[in-house]
Amino acid sequence: MNTIPLLESDLDKNPFVQFARWFEEAKQKQPELPESMTVSTCGENGAVSSRVCLLKGFDEHGFVFYTNYQSRKGAQIAENPRVSLCFFWTALDRQVRIEGAVVKTTEQESDAYFATRPRGSQLGAWASMQSTVICGRGDLDRRFAELEASYRERQIPRPPHWGGYRVIPLEIEFWQGRADRLHDRFVYRLREPKDWVIERLSP
């Protein structure tokens, strides 16, 4: 359990700078998938769905991940474009929660990232109709094999149903574990563009 207190004076006034600091420390202390995050979405029916995705980039415009737009999360985002992200780094006893609006990345951004993916992952994006029911693994394997043969010796284009989302935060909370469950929690809330207020929350 971390016993080092987190004080407001320790925090950068810019939450993206603060996140970058913690993310770099997480990469050093927890090198196995520090970019993993829980992505929670909610459709029109009010049902919340969560799954682990990988952060693929961030800057002051938001936090980016990639997926199949026709997946369950894609359908829920289309119905309700609000998302919650949660990082938990056990090695540091730290958590970051991010809530905000979500928009698709540009086609150029999605194309550029897709081109960096391993060839098998590129084929998989075509082969899998994510979140739909299939008869068995054999159907998926056959589809993959057919695509592999079709694109042999050829560049694989990005599927139109696959791309990125950018979460534009309205609130970012930094949580530092402490003894006796008296944790340190600070939340940045966006009042106006680039104007963040920092508040300490009771644990």
Structure-token pair, residue 41 = 């979405």
The upper half-sphere exposure of residue 74, i.e. CA atoms within 13 Å in the direction of its Cβ, equals 17
Of 101, 51, 62, 99, the closest CA to residue 80 belongs to: 101
The alpha-helical segments, DSSP class H, found in the chain are 15-29, 72-79, 107-116, 119-127, 137-150
Please report the DSSP string for 155-183 in residue order.
PPPPPTTEEEEEEEEEEEEEEE--GGG--
Residue 88 near residue 177, CB atoms below 8 Å: no
Distance from C-alpha of 22 to C-alpha of 10, rounded to nearest angstrom = 12
Of 112, 118, 100, the closest CA to residue 163 belongs to: 112
Q: Which of 137, 152, 154, 181 is catalytic?
A: 181
Residue 39's beta-bridge partner residues?
51, 85
Q: Is 181 a catalytic residue?
A: yes
The catalytic site residues sit at 181
